[in-house]
Chain A
Amino acid sequence: MMNIPGSGIFKGMVVTARNMVGSYLLKERLTTEQYPEERPTLPENARSFPFLVYDGTDPEAGMRCVSCKICEKECPPQCIYIVQDRDAAGKALKRPKVFNIDIAVCMSCQICVEVCPFESIRMDNAYELSSYDRFGSLVLDKAKLLKSNAYYQSIHPTEAAETDGRIEADRLKKEAAAAAKAAAAQKAAAEKAAKAAATPAEPAAPATPAPQNPEASA
């Protein structure tokens, strides 16, 4: 077959013809998605840009972010900007006053998600974010970034279930630690009372606080 001149070209044409006819009949020959009309089903891991998770119904009260600024420091293209909130007396509060992400700079690497010890920042899978307004809509502020835990559950069910499990385990651990602390305090008070009954002079040592590690979940 090879030595007939033009047979190679003919063989190629057969392949093309098979593909052309097949594209009307076989799904695997025609893989194009008719995008605006047909939406792709995103895999669960799909990621676009980060958002902040809040628990409950009130975004401000349920905000998980404590303004530790680890994500700001670790972000490779430095697209996160955080200002810590302060009360009237100037004391630092455990929440951000300003939390901006410039998604024109963000490279969707999700390193902020990996380093966050408070399960606060997560990846969204929303796309079609282009706009005519560069600064107004591409620099996301706290109000735009905060999304509920229910939304997070809906876009990444497996990952969100794992996160909730970790938070729950952490909460139980903290409760156990608090209970132990309370028991220790009670015991110390009882001892103190007993000692006071015997010798009224010596004060009891203060109960040592139970170890609390905020990064235990990281």
Chain B
Amino acid sequence: MSTLAINSTSSGDARTLDLSLGPQHPSTHGVFRMNVTLEGETVVKLKPVFGYLHRNHEKIAEGNSWLAAMPYTDRLDYICPITNNWAYAVAVEKLAGIEVAERAEYIRVIVGELTRLQNHAAFLGFVLGDMGAWGSALMYAFREREKILDLFESLTGARMMCNYMRFGGCRCDLPPGWIEGATKVVDKFPAFLDEMEALLTGNEILLARLQGVAPLSAARAINGGMSGPVLRASGVDYDIRKVDGYGIYNRFKFRIPRGEVGDCYDRFMLRVIESRESLQILKQAIAGLPGGPIINPKAKLRGFRPPVGEAYGRIESPKGELGFYVISDGTDKPYRFRIRPPSLINLTLLEELCLGTKIADVMIILGTVDIVLGEVDR
């Protein structure tokens, strides 16, 4: 382990300064560290250091039953646990060939899109906090997020560690009055987005800090393996909800917003527009919610043994392509359990984005990539 704080200069010519940002820093979104080499205030080198939150997630899953890996997925991207559950369920359902109950598909879309809303609300608050708008913006965003977390709590019993999806459906049905509550949140959310835009997106300081900072070309974003809002902000039309049409997304009408230059401003605004599209999906899903069972009765809870084989299931999580690669050897435990975390892979271009920018912009660039360290380190 190298020393923390300020190291001596690597070149020895006293022109550069090595600075360790993190691992505990309010803007590093968890325990993340960046070893930055500065020339004046300009970044000339940046090395991300992660692994501080490593919990051996994949190996734990291989030692437990198929079902027991589900609550652990909550702890990957802890801002949006339900989409993590969903991605794992999609992978195992593909592996075992389990059909999902119709009502459960709709509920999955509803809770999945609510997760996207609350993730993007939290994102707006965090990024504005990174920029120095500490306090008001973050609190307004968290006020909205809390309404959605209340819905999750009344449905699943926990605000964040939901553990809601099961292979072939969902764990429990909607409690009475839940749909009314969700409709109320969906109706009120545009007002929050309008307020957020009025509050800051016309703000000259914000524009100066975001526009033209760290542009990412479409070709480079594709080559770098980017996914999710970061990729779309660079102008690439790629959303797994449209490409795969997993679940029942091909039944809904919605648009995929795209950025133009892929700078921080595009990445920021894309989340706002994407939230508005999520609201459209939510309205359609709530209107079309059918009755019926919540889970496929053929799917076993205990002693679940999928046939020998392998499957890769992926979904469009709020942060990008979240995939689970599972191999079954016919026993009640996964033989191999591998996660493709969007946060980690979106982080691989961080140095490239930061080179040549000022030290103050590094936090904003990190913020607009939108990572969660629970998922990066696993």
Contact = CB atoms under 8 A, between A and B. Distances in A.
Contacts of B71: 76, 107, 109, 111
Contacts of A114: 171, 301
A11 B157 contact: no
Interface residues of A, number: 32
Given A5-B204, A11-B202, A108 B195 contact: no
Contact of B200 (A7, A12, A111): A12
Interface string B121-151: 0000000000000001000100100100010
Interface in B90-132: none
Interface stretch (A41-49, A97-105, A168-176): A41-49
B24 interface: no
B200 A45 contact: no
Contacts, number: 83
A11 B195 CA distance: 10
Contacts of B67: 74, 111
B56 to A, nearest CB: 12
A2 B65 contact: no
Contacts of A16: 136, 199
Nearest to B188: A28
B202 A2 contact: yes
Interface residues of B, number: 36
Contact of B157 (A74, A76, A111, A123): A123
Contact of B155 (A45, A107, A158): A45
B205 interface: yes
Contact of B203 (A12, A110, A123): A12
A43 B154 contact: yes
Nearest to B64: A76
B301 A43 contact: no
Nearest to B194: A15
B243 interface: no
Contacts of A15: 195, 198-199
9 pairs of A and B residues whose beta carbons are closest in the complex = A109-B71, A8-B202, A43-B154, A76-B68, A47-B157, A45-B157, A15-B199, A8-B203, A12-B199
19 contacts: A12-B200, A15-B198, A15-B199, A45-B157, A45-B175, A46-B157, A46-B158, A47-B158, A74-B65, A74-B67, A107-B71, A107-B161, A109-B70, A109-B163, A111-B68, A111-B70, A114-B301, A123-B157, A158-B175
